[in-house]
Amino acid sequence: MRTDRRMFLKTAVAAAGAEVLGTLQVAKATTPSNAAPEEIAKNRPSGAFLNKEGVVETVYGKVRGSQQAGIQVFRGIPYGANTGGENRFMPAKAPTPWAGIRSTLWYGRTCPAFWRPGSDESMFVWQNDTGYMDEDCLVANVWTPGINDNKKRPVLVWIHGGGFSYGSSQELPSYDGEMLARDGDVVVVSLNHRLNALGFLNLSEFDGDYATSGNVGMTDIVFLLKWVRDNIGNFGGDPGNVTIMGQSGGGSKVGTLMAMPSAQGLFHKASIHSGSILRVADPEMSLGLAHGLLAKLEIPKNNLDKLRNLSWQEIVSAANDVQRRHRSAISHIPLPDARTLDRWFGWSPYVDGTEIPHQVWDPAAPEISANVPLMVGTVLNEFVTGIGRPDAFSLTVEGLMRQLSNQYRSNAKELYDAFSKDHPTANPFQLWSIIWACSFRSAAMKQAQLKAAQRKAPAYNFWMHWQSPSLSGRAMAFHCFDLCFFFNNSKRCDSVTGNGEAAKRLARQMSQAWIHFARTGNPNHEGIPKWESVTANGSETMIFDAESRFKGDPDSLERAAYSKTIPA
């Protein structure tokens, strides 16, 4: 997703080296269903409609959405005021209340970010929608089976990926919450919030008025969770049963929220996908980025108000340049290693002593969220795939060994032996990909173990192995791929899922696991093998595949071998 997801994906193969290549009734609640989407569709209205009965009152005013096949949909609901002008870098404020009924038929504005389209194949796979960028971006979207009905459905709050610098709630087709809301009788909420320097520019050293500027991107999300607490009841949701979920940078945001006192009590379960970080930035690194941006913009430290007079385009462009140079100094490899993400991210949350009092998951899981059940996992291949590289699978064993030796030096043979033993049918490029992804798999397992060590709430680990049939199999189990299935959007994402019987079956398994976890804190359901929680020193894992299976210890040899390597 850009240089945190999107740029990772654009540079992934290159990093492998030259060798590698009218009026409707208000929707009524339904019971959770294990039926196939096609079966559900038989007796439901089709198409999207304006619904003049579909009006919900929020604390700031009334909103009207649309109805999509029986699901009420509200897009672009303001939960905060415009963050531009004098509000730039300041904590989120309430929007100005409105009179009458506000139309919320389509997505609101997205946070400004630097974006460059990827290759033809990458755009085919991800189908990115950057939306309309503007600082008036504190908006939420809601999908719900029923409104104003006094039902208390589980609420799933989705936090988008893109590191802490890019992305939005509409960026990927898989983010659409219609199927999840219908099949699970749940309420799905997604949001936009401030990113990059607009959300994480630490000016606290220079001016007390900006004491919290370095973490407003995170406190925006807390502000949204308070909006959920105060409003979701009218959308048919239960403010006492809220699950926060995120992937990639969104997963990192979830893990960070679990350590923030201001977020305590606003959510009750958490789900982290390919975004496990144990540490966030320290004050020194955060301030270093701020010094770099001020120098780039030629703004003196005693005249910070000039920052409010610049266009967001100027700030975002300069921030991207500062982040690029920062990353080049951190690593010569344009790919993330989960072990160094706290330094690699660049613009990101930092330990400020207040909003984030101390490191988030190091040396232990955050105590303030000890009673919050956790679901955490990764996909098999993550960032290194054959997308954009038709000859990826031509890599030979000899070529792979050269790559491993160049990257991991004396650890090359041990890595090859461990990973080839556990993945005997993988071709050399697939093995290279799985090895690269191990830092993310290891971080997710470590996070689950730290959670389990608290002995107060369970942690469930997953690992998605199923391979995309797209691009003759070269897409593999790529970073973000699991979302097509957890959201039960196999059909919506058919360019990468194929939407065949195996894909539809897997989507039912994974989405029902998410739904059951959100409802009860336990992802088990009749469609999957028994899924045991992780123990403090264990590796218990649900592997989602053509034949999903539970394993008590699927890869300890792999992770042990990888742990001996040094981050690039």
**SS (HEC) of 170-233:** CCCHHHCCHHHHHHHCCEEEEECCCCHHHHHCCCCCCCHHHCCHHHHHHHHHHHHHHHHHHHHH
pLDDT value for 126: 86
- The one-letter amino acid code at 500 reads G
pLDDT band at 374 (very low <50, low <70, confident <90, very high): very high
Share of the chain above pLDDT 70, in %: 90
Question: For 484, phi and psi rounded to 5 degrees?
Answer: -60, -30
User: In the chain, what are the domains?
Assistant: 29-242+257-282+345-368 (3.40.50.1820), 376-562 (3.40.50.1820)
pLDDT tens by residue, 199-251: 999 999 999 999 999 999 999 999 999 999 999 999 999 999 999 999 999 99
Q: What is the pLDDT of residues 499-552, one digit of tens each?
A: 999 999 999 999 999 999 999 999 999 999 999 999 999 999 999 999 999 999
Question: Which pTM value belongs to this model?
Answer: 0.91
Residue 263 has a CB neighbour count (10 Å cut-off) of 22
Q: Is the pLDDT of residue 10 over 50?
A: no
Report whether pLDDT(179) > 80.
Answer: yes
Residue 41, pLDDT score? 38
Predicted confidence (pLDDT) per residue in 100-123, tens digit = 999 999 999 999 999 777 788 988
How far is it, in rounded angstroms, from Cα 433 to Cα 435? 5
Amino acid at 280: V
Query: Can you read off the two tokens belonging to residue 340?
Result: 């160094």
Q: What does each C-alpha distance from 389 to 2, 124, 399, 404, 474 come to in angstroms? A: 18, 13, 16, 19, 8
For residue 184, how many C-alpha atoms fall within 13 Å in the half-sphere facing its CB? 35
Confidence of residue 438 (pLDDT cuts 50, 70, 90): very high
Mean pLDDT, residues 23-47 taken together: 36
C-alpha span between 52 and 26 (Å, rounded): 9
Average pLDDT, the chain: 91
Question: How confident is the model at residue 224, as a pLDDT?
Answer: 98
- Write the CB contacts of 179 (distance below 8 Å, at least 6 apart in sequence): 37, 487, 488, 489, 492, 511
Mean pLDDT within 65-90: 96
Binning pLDDT at 50, 70 and 90, where does residue 566 land?
confident
The angle formed by the CA atoms of residues 40, 42 and 46, to the nearest 5 degrees, is: 95
Q: Which long-range contacts (CB under 8 A, 24 or more apart) does 29-33 make?
A: 29/145, 29/146, 29/149, 29/151, 29/153, 29/185, 29/236, 30/145, 30/182, 30/185, 31/185, 32/183, 32/184, 32/185, 32/512, 32/515, 32/516, 32/519, 33/182, 33/183, 33/184
- Angle at which helix 397-408 crosses helix 412-422, to 10 degrees, equals 130
| Rounded CA separation 568/431 (Å) | 18
3-state secondary structure 122-178: HHHHHCCCCCCECCCCCEEEEEECCCCCCCCEEEEEEECCCCCCCCCCCCCHHHCCH
**What's the Rg (C-alpha) of the chain?**
23
pLDDT (0 to 100) of residue 118: 76
What pLDDT score was predicted for residue 128? Answer: 87
Is residue 360's pLDDT more than 70? yes
pLDDT range class, residue 3, cuts 50, 70, 90: very low
pLDDT digits (tens, 9 = 90+) for 449-467: 999 999 999 999 999 999 9
Per-residue pLDDT band at 253 (split at 50, 70, 90): very high
Q: Tell me the pLDDT tens digit for each residue of 296-345.
A: 999 999 999 899 999 999 999 999 999 999 988 877 666 778 998 888 89
The one-character DSSP state at 476 is: B
- Structure token pair of residue 317: 């462009």
